[in-house]
Amino acid sequence: MSPARIETLAVHAGMRVDSGTGAVTPAIHPSTTFERDPDGSYPRGFVYARNANPNRVALEECLAALEGGEEAAAFASASAATSAILLALKPGDHVVAPIDAYHGTLRLLRETFAPWGLETTFVDMTDVAAARAAMRASTRLVWVETPSNPMWKITDVVAIGELASRAGAHYVCDNTTATPILQSPFKLGADLVLHATTKYLGGHGDVLGGAVVTRTRGELFDRVRAVQASGGAVPSPFDCWLVRRGIRTLPYRMRAHSENALKVAAFLHGHARVEAVHYPGLATHPAHEVARRQMSAFSGMVSVQVRGDRARAIDVAAKLRVFTRATSFGGTESLVEHRASIEGAGTRTPENLLRLSIGLEHPDDLIDDFEQALA
Ligand SMILES: Cc1ncc(COP(=O)(O)O)c(C=O)c1O
């Protein structure tokens, strides 16, 4: 479709009225195989569902349009999408990655790809000098995640991108928390964008998915595409349909998540029984100015360190009534999680930290809930 504003893209990109039936809402195509013409050709472009299917194409077109990229490849989870990017590299290649990335990304790099032959240097990406010092002649990939899960640290995407570009390395930004509504990594220098569509894009806690979006077609993305088809970690047609449906309301949900989160974060920041609040929308966040430069709002994820120990944090979570105690984020309902418990041994997450996914309830109900739980 012709260039449009993001709200319009969220509704229309990749969507077509069905020419056979006139159906406005797309059908779900569970077929795994597609008919050839008598001459043996596939004029409709579909052969076998692992390679492509109509629901996946609609989702991929939409994701590419939202990020302002050329193409996207959808996967069964963001972890599968991350694996595809890493498999597109070669044993012996060097990766520079954030020390505080999503713990599943760190685990993949350490436990799966280190034995496979990828060397990774983990650095604090908020320290540009440390990232510069980590670069080597063999560096092929620089990975950033901003805001980073679960401390919501902010990486200066432009500054790290300059290092990647000077080294001739591919530059990936995990844009899961900001979403394309709040942050446009391609405009800040990224080559690839990663999404856990499980979170805000799906938006309703009912579908697992991931995606790689590329700014321009090239060798690396071609390899990601090849891994998608040959590895087969692809989302089902129904999964693609659900994510595409969730995206229709994404711009409006992200505004509400961000507004609610700012209110809850401000309340917690002023509370006597709170030690620290981590939210890039607060002026007290160490990289608030960087966040303001590269994000249009600050998303719905807040972490709070209560005064006290692990037991006190778990007790506060137990007393909350509107928040549900569960992992993951990005749905309509607010979630609370004692993050160190799920990350397990070796976690760097403070034991008194609760991670909050701020949902679409009335913010005053969320604030009242914390008021009573902290009392
Ligand atoms: C920032 C980030 N990236 C990637 C992932 C992995 O997503 P998935 O569970 O779909 O593999 C997560 C999951 O929480 C995440 O928070």
> Within 13 Å, how many C-alpha atoms sit on residue 150's CB side?
29
pLDDT exceeds cutoff 80 at 2: no
What's the predicted TM-score (pTM) here? Answer: 0.97
pLDDT band at 374 (very low <50, low <70, confident <90, very high): very high
CA–CA–CA angle 138, 144, 150 (5° rounding): 135
Residues 110, 327: Cα–Cα separation, whole Å: 22
The catalytic position among 93, 156, 174, 369 is 174
Percent of the chain with pLDDT over 90: 98
Tens digits of per-residue pLDDT, 151-208? 999 999 999 999 999 999 999 999 999 999 999 999 999 999 999 999 999 999 999 9
Alpha carbon of 206 to ligand 1 centroid (Å): 14
Contact residues for 344 (Cβ-Cβ < 8 A; gap 6+): none
pLDDT at 169: 98
DSSP secondary structure letters along 38-100: TTS--TTS--BTTT--HHHHHHHHHHHHHHT-SEEEEESSHHHHHHHHHHTS-TT-EEEEETT
Tens digits of per-residue pLDDT, 306-346? 999 999 999 999 999 999 999 999 999 999 999 999 998 88
Q: Is 360 helix (H, G, I), strand (E, B) or coil?
A: coil
Residues 298, 255: Cα–Cα separation, whole Å: 9
The atom number, within ligand 1, closest to the CA of 176 reads 1
Query: Whose Cα sits closest to atom 7 in ligand 1?
Result: 78
The catalytic position among 199, 244, 253, 355 is 199
Residues framing ligand 1 (Cβ under 6 A): 77-79, 102, 104, 145, 149, 174, 176-177, 196, 198, 208, 210
Residues 198, 18: Cα–Cα separation, whole Å: 27
The atom number, within ligand 1, closest to the CA of 101 reads 1
Tens digits of per-residue pLDDT, 240-259? 999 999 999 999 999 999 99
Distance of CA 23 to the CA centre of its chain: 31
The catalytic position among 50, 248, 255, 273 is 50
- Per-residue pLDDT averaged across 65-84, rounded? 98
Residue carrying structure tokens 């430069």? 293
Question: Which helix (H) or strand (E) is 116 found in, with range?
Answer: helix 114-116
CA distances from 236 to 229, 241, 242, 272 (A): 13, 9, 10, 48
Query: Whose Cα sits closest to atom 2 in ligand 1?
Result: 102
Contact 310, 351 (CB under 8 A): yes
pLDDT exceeds cutoff 90 at 109: yes
